Structure 1
């Protein structure tokens, strides 16, 4: 079952405690695109039902011009050509949404976000895995299929917060609480047993919801030297298959 990004966004918006974690998101239109890039300096245009980072377009303001890119392709355009440049990267068969760009934290020069692998083998959701996804150099998406790789979340957060253990522990606690709330909320609307939640952490430490995938991949966790989380994920997958297939 593929759940569209906009449906999940609207479901999470209904929960007042989650609203502060949701970046501004709308169906794309020329007026919204121009307003948002003026407000936030960068925006992301995403296919409603895309996965793996495929088809994500970024537009960012650089003084009086805009850089529009998808994958490793880039275009520099003026304001009058912005929407046309975005459309040149879109697929006619897809619906797109426009989302506020985030100033994600960096690890060794590359942006990163956080993947939380949630599973519900019985009656309660559990966090089976949690890792940082680090983008390939000069990429603006962190997905494994786009060259991203997994790192220990603890190590990456210590790097971001200058080895301040208290700040790291605080963010880990918030990430955990937020992940349970997101999984529970989406599960109220959809019958799911697994959920991959992607959260962004800005340089300031602010946490944002990016995406939730009801068919998460586990390759990220196979890249980590410690296989404990991968083993937990696979054990719960087998249990879910046994109990509910």
Structure 2
């Protein structure tokens, strides 16, 4: 749904290119290319994990995961479907599972930290109800058992950022540093995108944390969903988000 004075940018690649061109945030962006047979071969030669996803759309719809098993063998996964293919058949298999009529991109995959064997990533929600960006919510999204992405609502769960970081490091000081980095990075992303796309009012930044403690920006949504924040025990965060949202769309 479109609202008056509410800017949205649908293309993942467009936003990625803007972020890649800025020195403050470019090191947080995993390599991303338009998908074709050549780019898939190039990326699969260099990275053991890849994600193929539609340039436009959300909720994890259409996302395909590729994991290298050996020099010539790959595991391709789409939702609960899984197929092992040789290198020569990799693009053909991916093409079979792509949503027809959509442009796709291929992105370096990150081996993120996990919770009970399930990958999780972070959603940082920024809103601008009164001229200045604020972080209204931060949450860790835990993938449903057997799922390859955290976007799917069915079966997924949520953790506070503080709780999730305790599974990565027992050090409170290190946890605090990581939280501060998340906040600083989120404001930098908002600043960079706002300069390119005037009129942005809300941003949902999805990030992963790898095994070395490095954050990676998977994508940024300019019309983010809020439902995941209702899973937090502190309902005040969700109520604040909705209050800000109502103010934004009515302005």
Q: Same fold (TM over 0.5)?
A: yes
Which structure has the highest helix share of the two?
A: 1
Q: Hey, what does 1:29 align to over in structure 2?
A: 36
TM-score by length of 2: 0.93
CA contact (8 A) 2:24 2:188 kept: no
In the alignment, the residues of structure 2 paired with residue 222 and residue 47 of structure 1 have an alpha-carbon distance, to the nearest angstrom, of 27
3-state SS of paired residue (1:17): coil
3-state SS of paired residue (2:189): helix
Q: Does 1:90 align with 2:98?
A: yes
Per-residue deviation, 1:144: 4.1
Q: Does 1:186 align with 2:220?
A: no
3-state SS of paired residue (2:25): helix
| From 97, 106, 117, the counterpart of 1:109 | 117
Q: Hey, what does 1:220 align to over in structure 2?
A: 228
CA contact (8 A) 1:150 1:220 kept: yes
Unpaired runs of 5+ residues, structure 1, are none
What are the superposed Cα offsets for residues 33-91 of structure 1, whole Å, 9 maximum, x if unpaired?
11211211111111000201110011111124111111111111101100000000112
3-state SS of paired residue (1:99): strand
Q: Hey, what does 1:53 align to over in structure 2?
A: 60
1:116 to 1:45, Cα distance in 2 relative to 1, 3 A:
same
In the alignment, the residues of structure 1 paired with residue 135 and residue 121 of structure 2 have an alpha-carbon distance, to the nearest angstrom, of 17
Q: Does 1:204 align with 2:212?
A: yes
Per-residue deviation, 1:2: 4.1
TM-score by length of 1: 0.95
Alignment of 1:16-165 (within 5 A): 16-63=23-70, 64-145=72-153, 147-161=155-169, 163-165=170-172
Equivalent pairs counted in the alignment come to: 242
3-state SS of paired residue (2:212): coil
> Greater shift after overlay, 142-151 or 228-237?
142-151
Per-residue deviation, 1:235: 1.5
Per-residue deviation, 1:152: 1.0
In the alignment, the residues of structure 2 paired with residue 128 and residue 90 of structure 1 have an alpha-carbon distance, to the nearest angstrom, of 35
3-state SS of paired residue (2:77): strand
CA contact (8 A) 1:195 1:214 kept: yes
CA RMSD of aligned residues (A): 1.2
In the alignment, the residues of structure 2 paired with residue 79 and residue 241 of structure 1 have an alpha-carbon distance, to the nearest angstrom, of 48
CA contact (8 A) 1:53 1:146 kept: no
Per-residue deviation, 1:22: 0.4
CA contact (8 A) 2:50 2:66 kept: yes
CA contact (8 A) 1:26 1:98 kept: yes
CA contact (8 A) 1:53 1:145 kept: no
